Amino acid sequence: MQGTPARCPEELTRSRLKRLGEGIGKVVYASEHWVVKRERTPTEVVSLILLWKFLHRTAHHLPFGWGDRLLRHPSREIRFLRAVAHGLMIVLPKSLWYTTHVSTVLRRYVKHDRRGERLARAWLTGTDLLPQRVSFPPATVLVSGWPGWLVVSEATERVEATLDKWIDHLAASNRFDEVELWLNRLIDTRQAGWRAGLFSTDAHLKNFGVVRDRVVLLDTGGLTDRWSDISARLEKDEQIAEPHLKLGLGAALAGRPEIAARFNTRWKATVNRESVREHLPG
Ligand SMILES: Nc1ncnc2c1ncn2[C@@H]1O[C@H](COP(=O)(O)OP(=O)(O)O)[C@@H](O)[C@H]1O
Ligand SMILES: [Mg+2]
């Protein structure tokens, strides 16, 4: 249950935690059943934003398909490039990096992250749309890599897999009935969120996870209850011809165009202003 144990789960302090995943704003470390999150510093977030902008602009011009590979498999090389960017940011004047545009992006990111967190706490606590969370008095845990330790007062249930990895795994094992089932569950989870009054403007597969037979939202950043934000996002999304490609499902569904077509049909019939509006309360 949310917030019941008054102590940090023992397995979090038993040994050094491994890095499990990361996004623009957070690095996630895990023990067997729990994860804890470290918030990146603004400098880290800015170096990542700049790195992404650079990669997206130059990906197709880099030799040997490096850029495209980086965008598809971001973990290792991007971590290295980010370390370089971060280093440069420390030695070069701040004004160079905090150009108006970058600071706007950073502020928007932080604002959306905080707002999503607040909305999720208010409206989704205890629902099965989120993984379980526990709060406890601050505890120090050891983590791999820099800075080696972390003070946390909250832990989140570790999901079996993020949805992108789970779908790739099912597709690689030729379990396409299940691929389709889980894609439908993703849409079901999104609709349940809308019925609770919330819409995720950052709904990519890495931000969702698998818990038993459910899809849960891992990243509350980008959740909004404001129709102007929702409709602006949807107006853009409605232009997408093949949503499965945009969601990074191109490779998984390459051999199964009929599944891609069914998914795209349901997605388009659901993820649009009219349908979302019908689900929202009030
Ligand atoms: N409860 C969890 N179980 C397993 N992996 C998780 C969990 N929460 C987050 N992750 C992984 O960490 C990544 C980053 O976490 P997220 O909250 O999305 O941070 P950010 O705000 O930086 O995007 C996720 O995309 C996911 O891969
Ligand atoms: Mg995320």
Residue nearest to atom 27 of ligand 1 (CA): 21
Please tell me the predicted confidence (pLDDT) of residue 97.
65
Give start and end residues of each alpha helix (H) in 92-161.
94-97, 100-123
Question: For residue 217, how far is its CA from the centre of ligand 2 (angstroms)?
Answer: 10
Q: Residue 102 pLDDT more than 50?
A: yes
Closest-lying ligand 1 atom to the alpha carbon of residue 26? 22
Contact 206, 128 (CB under 8 A): no
Contact 158, 34 (CB under 8 A): yes
Q: Residue 145 pLDDT more than 90?
A: no
- How many CB atoms are located within 10 Å of the residue 147 CB? 7
Mean pLDDT of 183-208: 96
Place of tokens 């997206």: 56
Ligand nearest to the CA of 164: 1
**Residue 276 Cβ < 6 Å to ligand 1:** no
Question: For residue 63, how far is its CA from the centre of ligand 1 (angstroms)?
Answer: 31
What pLDDT, in 10s, does the model give residues 222-265? 999 999 999 999 999 999 999 999 999 999 999 999 999 999 99
Q: What are the angstrom distances between the C-alpha of 166 and each of 30, 240, 261?
A: 18, 24, 20
Report residue 76 as tokens: 């290792």
The CB-side HSE value for 118 (13 A sphere, CA atoms) comes to: 8
Question: For residue 21, how far is its CA from the centre of ligand 1 (angstroms)?
Answer: 6
Please tell me the predicted confidence (pLDDT) of residue 12.
97
Own/partner long-range contacts of 261-266 (Cβ < 8 Å, ≥24 apart): 262/180, 263/180, 263/183, 266/184, 266/187
Mean pLDDT of 122-151: 94
**Residue 36 Cβ < 6 Å to ligand 1:** no
Question: For residue 206, how far is its CA from the centre of ligand 2 (angstroms)?
Answer: 7
Q: Residue 64 pLDDT more than 70?
A: no
